[in-house]
Structure 1
Amino acid sequence: MSRAVRALRGATTVDVDTAEQIEERMVALLTELFDRNDIDHDDLISIVLTATPDISSAFPAAAARTFGLGDVPLLCAQELDIEGATPLCLRVLIHLTTERGRNEMHHIYLEGAEGLRDDLPG
């Protein structure tokens, strides 16, 4: 089977805006994404990490580096401040090469983000 470039989505929330909880929840999200999708570090291309405007105590990329992703291109950005959006939310978009088809990717949503994309396979 040939390899393709795919994107993998995930999100989680924090209860409080602290560097410790951002690291804890981001590592838990990345762990679940990597485990459920059998991601090999060498398959990674880049990762975009976002936080809602109510998170300001730490960069999500700093948490990703503690997971061992220091050599992967990481980019942090702030989500749009949309009324009614999930608060205290961290999102991730992983670009990777894989033999899996698009419908075989397991997107992961944890904590208060569980209902964000129930249309995607989990």
Structure 2
Amino acid sequence: MPAAVRALRGATTVDADTPEQIAERTVALLEAMFERNGVDHDDLISIWFTVTEDLTSAFPATGARAIGLGDVPLLCAREIPVPGSMPRCVRVLAHLTTDRPRSELHHVYLEGAVTLRDDLPS
């Protein structure tokens, strides 16, 4: 299959709204997403991060830049504050080129976010 543009999803939670924990959990999530799917730096097109409105101490992109992703376009935004939604959550949508079919991509959910998408294969 020729290379195609695909999107890879992931999410994690933090225990506290601190810059250190947001960076640490964001890095762990990105590393797990990339390792599990064989994503190399040059495969990345862009990464979009969202956070719930209770996370205000840091941008998740700061953690991404700390692991060498500063040349990848990064964007941070706030999630819609839906009543009852998971608190202290960082979500990621990474756009990449890959020769893997969509059905072979594995989205990654860590920490408290493991319950967000139990409909996806692990």
TM range (shorter): over 0.9
Coordinate RMSD, CA, aligned: 0.7
In structure 2, the partner of 1:99 is 99
Aligned length: 122
**1:11-44: CA deviation from partner (whole Å, max 9, x where unpaired):** 0000000000001100100110011001011111
Do the aligned partners of 1:105 and 1:121 also contact (CA within 8 Å) in 2?
A: no
**Does 2:64 align with 1:72?**
no
Runs of 4+ off more than 6 Å? none
CA distance, structure 2, for counterparts of residue 92 and residue 67 of structure 1:
15
SS at match of 1:68: coil
TM-score (norm 1): 0.98
In structure 1, the partner of 2:22 is 22
In structure 2, the partner of 1:84 is 84
**1:74-117: CA deviation from partner (whole Å, max 9, x where unpaired):** 00000000100000000000000001111100100000100111
In structure 2, the partner of 1:38 is 38
SS at match of 1:97: strand
Amino acid at match of 2:39: I
Same amino acid, percent of matched pairs: 67
SS at match of 2:119: coil
Query: What displacement does 1:68 show?
Result: 1.1
Query: What displacement does 1:119 show?
Result: 1.6
Amino acid at match of 2:86: T
TM-score (norm 2): 0.98
In structure 2, the partner of 1:113 is 113
Gaps of 5+ in 1: none
Amino acid at match of 1:62: T
Gaps of 5+ in 2: none
